Amino acid sequence: MRRQVFGAAAVAALLAASPAAFAQDLTVTWADDSTSDVGYDPRVTQSRHEEQVIVQVFDQLVAADADGTLYPNLATEWIVADDNMSVTLKLREDVTFHDGTPFDAKAVKFTFDTITDPATGSQGAVDLLGPYSGSEVIGLYEIKISYTRAFPGAIASFSENELSPVSPSAVAALGNTGFAQAPVGTGPFKFESWEKGTQVVLVRNDDYNWAPEFYDNEGPSKVAKIIHRFINNAGTRVAALETGEVSVTDLTPPLDMRRLGDTDDFTTMVGVASGVPFSLMLNTSRGLFQDIKVRQALFYAIDRPRLAENLFFGLAKPAFGPISSGTPAYWSGVEEYYPYDPEKAAALLEEAGWTMGTDGIREKEGQKLSIHYASLLERDTAVTLQAMAKEVGMDLAVEIVTKAKQDELILGNDYDMGEIRWVFNSPSVLVIPFSSTNIPEPGKFKFNWMHWASPELDALLKQASVAKSSDEMLQSYADAQKMIMEYAAFVPVHDQTQTIAYTSSIDGLRFAPGNWQVRLYDVRPAE
């Protein structure tokens, strides 16, 4: 057995930390570009906005700083079996959920068992649990978690928001739907209210005294209230920041980042996210993208370096593969695939029988080369991609959709192309959009929107997850990235960049792992 024990002094300090003095009614108002239609249950979360709330309300079994370094959190010690088939966790004994019920081993078992229960509707969380076969409560604060096969990534998975322990009593009282609308965790902030389409309000957990050691603060946060306000328009978000209506804006336009950063009144921070970059997912189960030549033509039509520079002014890098360049196990060989080449794109379309029409859009057997592009995430990027595709005779028929509309299209398989990005600190994120088990079905929203089932790719991803050496793991992930690029149904566009601007009257904002969500526990009045 491999035993990882954290020094007694460090654990004692965590247990004995005295509550900090509260700041007088410090409120942080966060302007968010998106909202949720379903709620804030970590077991079923689908969006980065939901996780921005979840990371304040819930703790993880294992904490990770922005650079991915792991620390004890709700688990103070872990013992990994030599064969990687099980992990035993020892848990903190002084933690309570926001509803006053104790956090213990039964709560961890409940969380994991319900994640694997189809009735819960978990998606990414199921993948993060890996080959989970069950858990055994050994003692009130000790649990053994078992797997059907070796799972070396277990400890890192415990740091993900999706596996945050939930209150069993709250789920029992509210049901899964009700819990999502009034979630109960152990984190530094409690969920107070949710006005759909408008805002979410969180309030300080005055009992909080178990923060991981990488935080500056001890005890309850100096922030009394967090208001997550939905403001879809970027210009309106920035204007609200400048007038003092909000404290923080996310996805701040690059020109505004430059302008605000040059003043004393505002501070900016930039995070280059790991995980899946902003990408196009081409539906290979219907329509024009069943033809690989059409898929490859779209690849060659996109000038990714020019797009990144023109839209993000150096704050974002072009993406070349299915995981971003900052993600562990990134294979640089992806950069050799599909360089910008409109002549090559045109030649592939000609080979596929698509000839240029008088209106600049290609035709074949009386059909226009028109592609339904459901765009949720980046309107400016969608319009730029549309213009680039038109240069080679492809019509990207852009439909700007809501999250609810996107879900409807995916569940009904009524789209040609959609957008995805997934902030994640590990290459294992590839399982979420590429596993053959994650193809959407009626009533089951999953993330393989390409409808690509590849037993060979499934085997490579599984092989990477159980690799016994770093070299073996890297080779498996490299082979997986190569296969994905050759299939040409997943078009990376640019690495995700989180651009935060906030009032200089506060300090202590801290990126969560993956450099997308921002933890607000450490926020305090600026000195």
Judgement on whether residues 208 and 282 belong to the same structural domain of the protein: no
Question: What pLDDT is stored for residue 276 in this prediction?
Answer: 95
| Banded pLDDT at 21 (limits 50, 70, 90) | very low
Judgement on whether residues 488 and 503 belong to the same structural domain of the protein: no
Q: Does position 210 have pLDDT exceeding 60, yes or no?
A: yes
Write the single-letter amino acid at 234. A
Judgement on whether residues 488 and 508 belong to the same structural domain of the protein: no
Q: Domain containing 378 — which CATH number?
A: 3.10.105.10
Q: Which residues pair with 503 in a beta bridge?
A: 266
Task: Evaluate whether 395 touches 401 at the Cβ level (below 8 Å).
Answer: no
Task: Evaluate whether 325 touches 318 at the Cβ level (below 8 Å).
Answer: no
Question: What pLDDT is stored for residue 467 in this prediction?
Answer: 87
Judgement on whether residues 121 and 218 belong to the same structural domain of the protein: yes
Judgement on whether residues 518 and 370 belong to the same structural domain of the protein: no
> Would you call 144 exposed, middle or buried from its count of C-beta atoms within 10 A (0-12, 13-18, 19+)?
middle
Q: Cα dist. 174→152, 165, 168, 180, 205 in Å?
A: 35, 16, 10, 9, 21
Judgement on whether residues 99 and 196 belong to the same structural domain of the protein: yes
**The model's pTM:** 0.83
Domain hosting 221: range is 2-251+498-525
Q: Does position 3 have pLDDT exceeding 70, yes or no?
A: no
| Banded pLDDT at 423 (limits 50, 70, 90) | confident
Helices (H) and strands (E) counted in the chain, each on its own, are 16, 26
Judgement on whether residues 138 and 286 belong to the same structural domain of the protein: no
Task: Write out the two tokens for 148.
Answer: 């059907």
Question: What pLDDT is stored for residue 11 in this prediction?
Answer: 36
Q: Cα dist. 479→314, 326, 369 in Å?
A: 30, 18, 32
Judgement on whether residues 327 and 219 belong to the same structural domain of the protein: no
Rounded mean pLDDT of 83-104? 97
Q: Domain containing 242 — which CATH number?
A: 3.40.190.10
Q: Cα dist. 421→64, 197, 301, 315, 409 in Å?
A: 21, 22, 21, 17, 17
* 93, 99, 114, 450: CA torsion to nearest 10: -110
Question: Residue 319 domain-assigned?
Answer: yes
Rounded mean pLDDT of 321-326? 93
Q: What is the percent of the chain with per-residue pLDDT over 90, rounded to a whole number? A: 81
Q: Does position 23 have pLDDT exceeding 70, yes or no?
A: no
384: left (phi over 0), alpha (psi -120 to 50) or beta: alpha
Our count of domains for the chain comes to 2
Judgement on whether residues 483 and 505 belong to the same structural domain of the protein: no
Question: What pLDDT is stored for residue 24 in this prediction?
Answer: 57
Question: Residue 185 domain-assigned?
Answer: yes
Q: Does position 251 have pLDDT exceeding 80, yes or no?
A: yes
Judgement on whether residues 345 and 214 belong to the same structural domain of the protein: no
- The whole-angstrom separation of Cα 393 and Cα 358 is 10
Q: What is the mean pLDDT of the chain?
A: 92
pLDDT digits (tens, 9 = 90+) for 283-311: 999 999 999 999 999 999 999 999 999 99
Question: Residue 266 domain-assigned?
Answer: no
Q: Which residues pair with 490 in a beta bridge?
A: 281
Judgement on whether residues 170 and 290 belong to the same structural domain of the protein: no
